[in-house]
Structure 1
Amino acid sequence: MRIGELARRSGVSIRALRYYEEQGLLRPHRRSSGYREYAETDVRAVARIRTLLAAGLGTAVIAEVLPCMVDSGEILAPGCPELVDVLAVERDRITGAIDELQAARAMLNGIIAATP
């Protein structure tokens, strides 16, 4: 299928699909005309990419973990045991960012409360 069809079926913009390709997340076949040709499996790959992005992972980490991710019913799951450690590091990074934001919010609340 061509990029427009993949965009329609996955609900993702053509621009986003090109970005995913630039980041090494998708590897469409190139026809002699230069057109991208996507496989049926790319529809599910885009859904996995979107799930991992929504989980707070960056594209470099997604490129690392995507080949070992599997569908476990409605949930995406690591299919390789070593991915659990990679995902735990990312979870800890996100937790640290949340802690920093909560501290910033508390400080801002203090400033607002001190307003005469």
Structure 2
Amino acid sequence: MRIGEPAGATGTTARALRHYEQAGPITSERAPHGYRVCAEGAVVRVRNSRSLPAAGLTLDDVRVFLPCLDGDVAGTPPSDKGLRVAWQRLAVLDERIATRTEARDRLAAAPRRKTGGPIRPAD
């Protein structure tokens, strides 16, 4: 299938697919007419590749999961390397959440000190 077909089927662009191609999750070949042609499994691979960053993984991290991108990523037992990457990303997310929570608490403390009560949204 030409590169525009998996792009349309996955809600992405041909440019994004070329980026995925450079990163490794998908491959394509040049047809005799010069168009890029992706394998039939490209749609599943792109959908799975897009779901992993939504879970906090980087596109570089996705390379670790290449063997399971053709099926149910969540249902496939992770490799030891996959588990290490997941734990590393979880630690990063936990740190970000803690930092944001601390900032929120500092911001919430100022109106409480001024009003002596809970935060009230402005009208």
Q: TM-score range by the shorter chain?
A: 0.7 to 0.9
Which secondary structure does the structure 2 equivalent of 1:82 belong to?
helix
Q: CA 1:34/1:97 → structure 2, altered by over 3 Å: closer, same or farther?
A: farther
Comparing both structures, which one devotes a greater share of its residues to strand?
1
The share of aligned pairs that are identical, in percent, is: 31
The answer to whether the aligner puts 1:75 opposite 2:77 as a matched pair is no
CA distance in 2 between partners of 1:53 and 1:20 (Å):
12
Which protein is bigger by CA-based radius of gyration?
Answer: 2
- Report if the CA contact (8 A) 2:27-2:39 is conserved: no
Q: Which runs of 5+ in 1 are unaligned?
A: none
Q: CA 1:29/1:112 → structure 2, altered by over 3 Å: closer, same or farther?
A: farther
CA distance in 2 between partners of 1:31 and 1:56 (Å):
35
- 1:8-87 equivalences under 5 Å are 8-63=8-63, 65-69=64-68, 71-72=71-72, 75-87=74-86
Q: CA 1:67/1:23 → structure 2, altered by over 3 Å: closer, same or farther?
A: closer
CA distance in 2 between partners of 1:34 and 1:102 (Å):
52
Q: CA 1:90/1:13 → structure 2, altered by over 3 Å: closer, same or farther?
A: same
- Report if the CA contact (8 A) 1:69-1:76 is conserved: no
- State the Cα distance separating 1:97 from its structure 2 match: 1.1
Per the alignment, residue 2 of structure 1 pairs with: 2
Structure 1 runs of 4+ aligned residues shifted over 4 Å read: none
Q: How many corresponding residue pairs?
A: 114
Q: Which runs of 5+ in 2 are unaligned?
A: 116-123
Which secondary structure does the structure 2 equivalent of 1:19 belong to?
helix
Per the alignment, residue 118 of structure 2 pairs with: none
Which secondary structure does the structure 2 equivalent of 1:75 belong to?
coil
- Report if the CA contact (8 A) 1:28-1:38 is conserved: yes
Instruction: Give the CA RMSD over aligned residues.
Output: 2.4
